[in-house]
Amino acid sequence: DGGITQSPKYLFRKEGQNVTLSCEQNLNHDAMYWYRQDPGQGLRLIYYSQIVNDFQKGDIAEGYSVSREKKESFPLTVTSAQKNPTAFYLCASSIGGVRQTQYFGPGTRLLVL
Amino acid sequence: GESVGLHLPTLSVQEGDNSIINCAYSNSASDYFIWYKQESGKGPQFIIDIRSNMDKRQGQRVTVLLNKTVKHLSLQIAATQPGDSAVYFCAEGYGQNFVFGPGTRLSVLP
């Protein structure tokens, strides 16, 4: 089946720790995105990548980092600099650029211990 | 499950009735709009989209209406079913951006 997978479903972070969220897609989509979802708010863009080895900051990139070494994969690292990391993180992909329809993965819930 | 929207507006409808979910968008330059459905603890699921050169588009049991004059988008769901219970949010696209609304929780009553 084609789709977007995210792992793990739940992730626990200790204070001062960096954690990495995985996102993989087999849709052959060029563009991939990371969003953060907080209760009562719309999705906020963290980072996006339109091609391999290139990515751009979104609206709330501080405290996060990404890489795009393969077309299929776009991992997100939540660094210790992100002081309020508890949220639901969603990865998405689209055929072309930002304005194409984005399809989402199942999400990762990050909790702080 | 996860609470996607703890403080979202809620629409409650009887099973079998039609549902209308509304979205006010912010940018008059927006020219592409999408409706997503998100069940608790899951990622958003694409429902239907519409471009600004249209004012209505229909899918299976769903219709999206676009009123550019008042910057308003609506999603109509016909014969609402229990499986339609979810948070529904709109997204507006302009330039290189997509802006997502916080959503409305649809609750289907038996």
What would the pLDDT profile of B37-78 be if each residue is shown by its tens digit?
999 999 999 999 999 999 999 999 999 999 999 999 999 999
pLDDT of A44 over the 60 cut: yes
Q: Tell me whether B43 touches chain A (CB under 8 Å).
A: yes
Neighbours of B54 (CB within 10 A): 12
Angstrom distance (rounded) from CA A106 to CA A45: 16
How sure is the predictor about A45, in pLDDT bands with cuts at 50, 70 and 90?
A: very high
CB contact under 8 A, A90 and B43: yes
Chain B residue with the nearest C-alpha to that of A110: B2
Residues 6+ apart with CB under 8 A from A84: none
A-chain residues near B46 (CB < 8 A)? 101, 103
β-strands B104-109, B10-14 pairing: parallel
Residue given tokens 């609304």 in the structure block? B101
Quick one: pLDDT at residue A98? 65
Distance, in angstroms, between B6 CA and closest chain A CA? 5
Distance, in angstroms, between B2 CA and closest chain A CA? 9
In chain B, the percentage of residues whose pLDDT exceeds 90 is 85
Q: Which of B8, B34, B101 sits opposite A101 (nearest CB)?
A: B34
Distance, in angstroms, between A70 CA and closest chain B CA? 23
CB contact under 8 A, B98 and A39: no
CB contact under 8 A, B43 and A104: yes
